[in-house]
Structure 1
């Protein structure tokens, strides 16, 4: 699962685009909240810090690409 500070229980909204991280003990701005991270203190929460709603929607896996044989084409290998 990918980690974002905006979906972490350690983040607390301070201003419109500013949040406090209790694990790192620092303030995070909007772009830092939306950036992918690998924080050891990440604890998942479905509620988005920025909008205060349950907006987390995991992405659906893409279907596999069709093979050339499915289109009636010949392969050179």
Structure 2
């Protein structure tokens, strides 16, 4: 797994893309928040901001040919 440490975080440049979808500007940004997790992206429009994060782990004995993985959502 490739990861970064918090001391390397200032060296990263965030990726930001804005698209117009049905007349509304939607911005996707990664590399600014949640740098120590496996994946994080913020999605924002004129009114709202949403942060999506994902984390994975490798467990000994986990079948790598499995066709599904359990999903856990914490609020």
Question: TM-score, length-normalised on structure 2?
Answer: 0.25
Q: Which has the larger radius of gyration?
A: 1
> Which structure shows the bigger proportion of residues in helix conformation?
1
Question: TM-score, length-normalised on structure 1?
Answer: 0.25
